[in-house]
Structure 1
């Protein structure tokens, strides 16, 4: 082997080692090799991306591990992943459907008009955002605020389950039809689910109307307040 060829091989090996060290620092624990296949569309390629691990010990580690997630097609058009916000040891977790346009812009859940109304509801309950934890079933904004699709739900569900497992709340409040149906694995309408206690993996769960619904239908505020009074009574 000539000296020139030897130096080129040595340089290539060194570069490879440097890349592997960078991947380890970025928390890519494994590099998955897939068999060669026919060229696929962008959407199907996204599904073969190494899945961010949910085996984290804190919410901060989970959120950091989700950066750059491309498990579903929503990754192509989102601006920010909206992981969740609040007290990591909250007694109460509120779960909505998915981030809206304003949440996508800032990466914070429930900051639009519906979020302002939610703040008022919490204030009436003598609670604040700093005391509770707020998140959504989906972590990325669906275009046009459409309903989440099955592949998007299956991609995000493990992260929601891990969030709830880490927080260990005393109770959960689901906001709107979709969140209630997803956590309870039911197709019953929100009108029948709300106002009654249910369970999610042993945790008491109270479904209620979404704040966005209340903006369109102010008459729903009274039933929501009745639901929240049951929550306050349960919290003591």
Structure 2
């Protein structure tokens, strides 16, 4: 087994980045440790110290302070981020109560008067812990004046690495989907519900989605799209509600009232659905033709 001490700083950083991209979130000790016994020993040490301090005027001679918490290794159930750590000033490690985080997100979003201001507000927002594991904020990209907005669920690994929505293989698939109806990345506005990649490409939790909701709703309000396309299960359920699958929600135009405007909205399959199950391409093509007819009509 290769020890971390045997690696150069650059090799170690590359290894950690590889594990992070592979979805590894935590490191564990090689041998099990009885933390319950350690905790009891620490309590006993504290108790002995307090007793000595109040027992006879010799506290300074017999008091034994508890061991600093920093010397205790984490248990297998405790977390340790394996990504190369970013400066604390740029990625605050904070835990904010859900209600407070949502309120702060709403205030930050509503204070923005343009997409550029909204991006700055999101870069300074510390209420969603997803930003602590993500490499980049993945913000909207494309032409806000086009009147066409396409929303996915979240950044994937390629998006997080490049700092742009729909990068890599899935981005190539979306590019082909758009080209089929005469559109391109440059002639639409691309974005995601959640702007930070969840570890391991997992689905965002309800808490994370609620915290990020003010930001995506503000993007829609500022861009004022004439047509909206929702990609995939998570995105369709986020905006349309319910627990129906994308196969039940796709292909039907709905009026979505959001951010003070009402937008004709069509849900369809995500590029990931087409990559993993090519049979889905025929359903996506039907939806794309319906979208083309609407924007050309």
- For normalisation by structure 1, the TM-score amounts to 0.78
Which segments of structure 1 move beyond 3 Å, counting only runs of 4 or more?
Answer: 44-52
Task: Give the aligned partner of residue 177 of structure 1.
Answer: 233
Sort the Cα spacing of 1:42 and 1:164 in 2 relative to 1 into closer, same or farther, 3 A.
Answer: closer
Task: Give the aligned partner of residue 213 of structure 1.
Answer: 273
Question: Is the contact between residue 152 and residue 230 of structure 2 (CA under 8 Å) also seen in structure 1?
Answer: yes
Secondary structure, aligned partner of 2:151: strand
**Mapping 1:1-236, distance limit 5 Å:** 42-44=94-96, 51=105, 53-54=108-109, 55-201=111-257, 202-236=262-296
Cα distance in 1 for partners of 2:224, 2:195 equals 20
Secondary structure, aligned partner of 1:147: coil
1:10-47 Cα shifts (integer Å, max 9, x gaps) = xxxxxxxxxxxxxxxxxxxxxxxxxxxxxxx9434798
Sort the Cα spacing of 1:66 and 1:220 in 2 relative to 1 into closer, same or farther, 3 A.
Answer: same
* Greater Rg over alpha carbons, structure: 2
Secondary structure, aligned partner of 2:95: helix
> Offset at 1:185?
1.7
Secondary structure, aligned partner of 2:186: coil
- For normalisation by structure 2, the TM-score amounts to 0.63
Secondary structure, aligned partner of 1:206: strand
Cα distance in 1 for partners of 2:225, 2:97 equals 36
1:71-100 Cα shifts (integer Å, max 9, x gaps) = 122121111110110112122111100001
Tell me, which stretches of 5 or more residues in structure 1 are unaligned?
A: 1-40
> Offset at 1:147?
1.0
1:106-126 Cα shifts (integer Å, max 9, x gaps) = 210001211100001111111
